[in-house]
Structure 1
Amino acid sequence: MIRLLLADDQALVRGALAALLGLEPDLEVVAEVGSGDEVLAAVERTTPDVVLLDVEMPGLDGISAAAQVHARFPRVRILMVTTFGRPGYLRRAIDAGADGFIVKDTPARELADAVRRVQLGLRVVDPALAAETLTAGTSPLTAREREVLAAAAGGATAAAIAARLHLSEGTVRNHLSAAIGKTGSRTRAEAVRAAERLGWL
């Protein structure tokens, strides 16, 4: 039996995944959690073979949770299963130690097969997303530019961002300007949207 842990903040989706995977004779769902903060403790408690993680969850996001699991339990396989098939997410998930990345509209049979392949140590990636990721390339944003752009996502002023990140307003404006240029945008709002669409934030 392949023991599975499911982490998804949407109870309905999590329940549906558990029911579908539970129909497979060689798969057993041993734990379900609703936030990234609960993943590490659940892995410790239930010793799954494969952890299925959503990307966007409250508290710790799925990519950060993947990094924690990979660091503490390197033999546990990680499969990202998400609605958000964005190139930057795929690249960041793989860098964090994920073994696979597929989208939630994958047919149940293919999802079960992806779990089996990941458990065998194979890399499983949604083919369309893999092609898009190669085309998009790596994120050109520095860690600080990404942080400033993420802080600007809610429409905060340069002064508010500066106070929050303990930077000068001039430094914030420089990072925003660089991010606007690197995303090929005209405004910071456009830069935020472009970076979010590509999974760079």
Structure 2
Amino acid sequence: MTVDPIVTYMSADALREMEESETPIPESHTAHARDLRARFLAPLGVVGVITLQLYEEDELVETRECKNLITTAGLTALASALNWSSISDQAANLGINTPYSLAPAYGAVGTGTTPVTALDTALTNEIQRGTVSQASAANGQSVLSFFFGNTQAVGTISEAGLFAAASITPGSGILIDHVLISPALTKTNIQTMTMQVSFTLTSG
């Protein structure tokens, strides 16, 4: 008869302390430590991607897909929206009287070429905003799509970003993410364009 080895358990804090002090993890803890590290100590992150697609007579003619930088203000806004959606039913009991929402959200494009930073609060040279045309969420990913008509955003597009709690007015709202479009995308007045903004939660 095979007897399973005795496995002892430790907390995530205990594992972290042992690793930081470089204390060897006992053999009886090894398998559990691997599982604990994978489930609790892996960093949680958000990966943002902006995709621009040009259409001419309903036919896709050009695409740009770029990983974007989520701003410091954007991370705070995302966290605040998650917090409010989790406690809205108990907000009054908690003394929280101000709802927090990312809506209205707008996709914006511009012609700036200044390198993006986490402290950005606006596009360098915003030229147009588009309203939400589609939205979905599944498998740890949120996707928002914005539409620009023939006469909108005409010119050389070299930057893009998502604004939350905003209006159609350029510069309003909270800049959630910012990206330089490289190579730049040239849109004419006979073309339409979609801007897709995706956020994927990652672990590990």
TM-score, normalisation: structure 2:
0.27
TM-score, normalisation: structure 1:
0.27
Which one has a larger percent strand, Structure 1 or Structure 2? 2
- Of the two, which has the highest radius of gyration? 2
